[in-house]
Each structure stands twice: as structure tokens, then as C-alpha cells.
Structure 1
């Protein structure tokens, strides 16, 4: 399971060991916002919060839509451990999003009210979304955080548009945070894979180019020069 976000948000998550669930009214999909508002009203909730993640492996769509470019990052979460922890939290529900066509949602009693936070239009199917929602009796805030120890993280991926040198610097920065020394941090190779390129070389029979290495010429030392002159 993958949570796409920003590098700055990842730093905050690692430092606090918390994962923020946000106010759904700030989501981009207005249909989604409307259903969440209806659900909140129907359930007479004070606060409603949500977190969206992807069930699938990385895609160009997810990187572009959910992270932009140079500041993007992805937290790969260990789903089993994460769900085990979520199940112990009061007022928290989680699961995969169901995608429906207009004619499906228009049918009488198409879904139960409890399913409203977990449905979207069919046009969003490519997201393969997994969602966590939290319900509270207190007034709505901008965010609600849940405990998120580093042990629940499988790997942190940096966006594929980062230059390799910059990605390495960010990797070192993340691993310098308390408790993160052994954290797996990797730059995504989605748009530039050496294995993919090698496969193309094999297809056309292209031989791998030899690496050019500049080596300094060995210069005789003064003592060696004197020895050679005296010998002659």
C-alpha cells in the first residue's frame, strides 16, 4: 500500500511518528466531498477525517497526480501491520474504495449509508484507492493524527524526476532523523530504469559500452631519476 505525498510531509511523519488524516472537504473530487459531507451529517458527527492510499504498485499517473514532480515522495506501508493497528482505534474504519457507474449509484438503495465514504465514480478506477476514515464527536479540525511507528514503513520512494545527486542527499537527510538510520529510502526508477534499457540493448544486439576511466600518469620521483643517471 502506498501513500503519495511530499518530501516535507515525509520528514514530518518520520519525526512525529504520526500519520495525518485530513479534512475531506479539501479533497479535489467534489462528488467525494459531497458524499463525505452527507455521511457526516447523517451520522451526526463532529469531525470526519480521511487518508487516501493506493493499493497498486507505482504508476506514472499516481506520481503526476498526487505528488507533482520535484517534491514528491511515496511511503510504502506494510498493510498487515497497519490494519492491525487501525483495528484497535475507536471510530476508525478502513478498506478499499468501490467504483460505480452513474446508473449503478442511481438504483434504489444502491449502497448502505455506511459505505458512502468508500465509493467513487468509475472514472477514478485507475487510482485503486484504499481509504482510512476517522469519526469523532469533537468539532472538525484540519487534521487528525494517528500513531505511525517506523516499523510500519517498508520503504520510502523519492520521485523519479529528482537528480540522482539530490536524491542521495535527501536519502541521507531522512536516514539522519532519529530512529531512521536503517530506513529503506530509494529513488523511483519508473522513468529511467537501467534494467529496462539493458533489455532494449539485448533486443537489438547492442553491446555494452566499455567504461572510460581517466587515470593519472605515473611520474618518476626525483630519487628514481637520480638513481637512473648514476647507474648510467
Structure 2
């Protein structure tokens, strides 16, 4: 199942964004250190049931940008959101043995009836996480044992690089200049999120009629 939008967003930090831009790759990592213990458990049961030596994942946002995305996934001043062209990104995973990807389904505990199918476990989360609108890519192997795996991104896959709304304003231009100095990144759209300070929104308040 593929989402209806044209982009996915990868919320991360500046160090990971630099690696992504320099390597022009997207990296799937082990879920062992994920914050959500429920999510880790579902992934572990999936790995155990299928007797996998490796299970890796990358989590993307398929729905609209929200305050919650930044606060949960990129909460610090070095937060970065990489906007990826959906069709080109999925092309990077096409015909790759061991890759599965789809939008996450969010279930209410009160409505749980039949036991889940093992194959659905990596793509199930509790209903309170629904605002994430997550699209998940996993890599699995019964023979290969690795903690990370990277995949080359097709040309033009990276659409925008958005810096944290909490990054101090004096740092923004220097960070953008540094990122644009990376080979192949000079022409990329880069800017700071205006989520918590938007000129058009504040001007709307200023225009209030008494």
C-alpha cells in the first residue's frame, strides 16, 4: 500500500543529514534502540517468528508536516527534515530481495479481535501514534547479519532540506552554506522551517479588526 502524496519526509539530525547528502544514500538501521517499546517488540516477534538474522527499517512521514513530527523525531536545534520524491525513492528499493514497504496501520486496543498475521507485524502500531502518518521500509534476511544497510538514491530524489524551527537564526545561513558545499547539493532547496514562527501567520494577527 502506497500513500497518495508525492513526497515522503525523513526527520533526522544534522549529522545523519550530512551523511545522507554526501553519500546520496538512505540507510536502514536496526530497531533495537527505538524509543517505542511496543514497536520494538512487534519487530522482534516478527524477526523471531521468521528466524531472521537481520531486520532493519527506516521510518518516513507520509502525511502533512506537523509540530509533533519535529518534536518527536527531530526535537533539537540540529533537527533536519529531508523531503524525498516518493516515486524516485521507491525506485531505489525496487526488485531488492528482502525489502518490504508500506504505510503503517494504526489499531485501537479495544477493537483487537483475531491474532495478527506475522507478516503484518512490522506495519502495525497503536492508534495513539496515528498522527505520525508513517510509511515504513524494512529489510530482512535469513542469511546476512548486518546492523545497517544503505541504498543509493536516484538522481533528483532529494527535493528539500528543511532545518529545525528551533535552530538559532544566526546559524541558519552558515549551515545552509555548508550543506550546499557538499558535491551535488548546490542547487537543492534548503530553508528553515517556519512552523513556530511564520511571518504570514503573524501578519494575519496584526491585521485584526477591532
Q: CA deviation at 1:150?
A: 5.1
Equivalent residues in 2 for 1:103-142, closer than 5 Å:
103-105=110-112, 107-109=113-115, 111-142=116-147
**What corresponds to 2:11 in structure 1?**
4
Take 2:127 and 2:197, find their aligned partners in 1: how far apart are those partners? 31
State whether residues 18 and 148 of structure 1, in contact with CA within 8 Å, keep that contact through their aligned partners in structure 2.
yes
The answer to whether 1:147 aligns with 2:152 is yes
1:93 matched to 2:100? The reply is yes
- What is the aligned counterpart of 1:203 among 202, 205, 208? 208
Which residue pairs with 1:225 in the alignment?
Answer: none
| In structure 2, C-alpha distance between the alignment counterparts of 1:117 and 1:155, rounded to whole Å | 28
1:73–1:156: 8 Å Cα contact kept in structure 2? Answer: yes
Unpaired segments ≥5 residues, structure 1: 206-232
Greater C-alpha radius of gyration: 1
> How many equivalent residue pairs?
203
Partner SS, residue 208 of structure 2:
helix
Q: Give the match for residue 51 of structure 1.
A: 58
Counterparts of 1:84 and 1:20, CA distance in 2: 15
Compute the RMSD of aligned alpha carbons: 1.5
Of stretches 173-182 and 55-64 in structure 1, the one that deviates more from structure 2 is 55-64
- For normalisation by structure 2, the TM-score amounts to 0.91
Q: Kindly state the Cα deviation for residue 13 of structure 1 after the two structures are TM-superposed.
A: 0.6
Is the Cα contact below 8 Å between 1:6 and 1:73 reproduced in 2? yes
Write the deviation string for residues 114-139 of structure 1: whole angstroms up to 9, x where unpaired. Answer: 11100001111111111000012345
**TM-score, with normalisation over the residues of structure 1?**
0.83
Structure 2's unaligned 5+ residue stretches are 1-7
Relative contact order (C-alpha < 8 Å, sep 6+): which is higher?
2
Give 4+ residue runs of structure 1 displaced > 4 Å after superposition. Answer: none
Partner of 1:71: 78
Contact 1:150/1:180 (8 A) holds in 2: no
Picking from 20, 25, 32, the partner of 1:18 is 25
